[in-house]
């Protein structure tokens, strides 16, 4: 009985260690805070509104900026790549 328990436990541990064919965890994405800091530094403007949009598996941050001259505009940041549009 003891050896059967040990065998079952080892089998379970091996299965869990190999993740039993599960998909790998998602790649590291840019956080909203990181996106805001990057955009403020890049455009020398302040983010006055920030939203997260999910399109399928893609996460996009929609950031509204305000510069010292009073100009307001919106940029989109891809969370996976950090690309700004």
40 in a domain, yes or no? yes
pTM more than 0.85: no
What's the CA gap between 63 and 48, in Å, rounded? 8
Residue 27 belongs to domain spanning: 2-78
How high is the pLDDT of residue 28? 84
83 in a domain, yes or no? no
Sign of CA dihedral 37, 39, 40, 41: positive
How far, in whole angstroms, is CA 42 from its chain's centroid?
Answer: 20
What's the CA gap between 65 and 44, in Å, rounded? 9
**Number of domains comprising the chain:** 1
Report the SS3 class of residue 31. Answer: coil
pLDDT bin (cut points 50, 70, 90) of residue 6 is low
pLDDT in tens, 8-61: 455 544 444 444 444 443 568 999 999 999 999 999 999 999 999 999 999 999
36 in a domain, yes or no? yes
What's the CA gap between 31 and 82, in Å, rounded? 10
25 in a domain, yes or no? yes
């Amino acid at each position: 009985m003891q050896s059967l328990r040990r065998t079952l436990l080892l089998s379970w541990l091996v299965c869990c260690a190999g993740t039993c064919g599960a998909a790998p965890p998602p790649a590291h994405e840019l956080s909203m805070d990181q996106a805001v800091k990057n955009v403020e530094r890049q455009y020398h403007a302040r983010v006055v509104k920030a939203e997260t949009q999910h399109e399928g598996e893609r996460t996009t941050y929609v950031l509204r900026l305000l510069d010292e001259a009073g100009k307001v505009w919106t940029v989109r940041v891809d969370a996976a790549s950090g690309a700004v549009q």
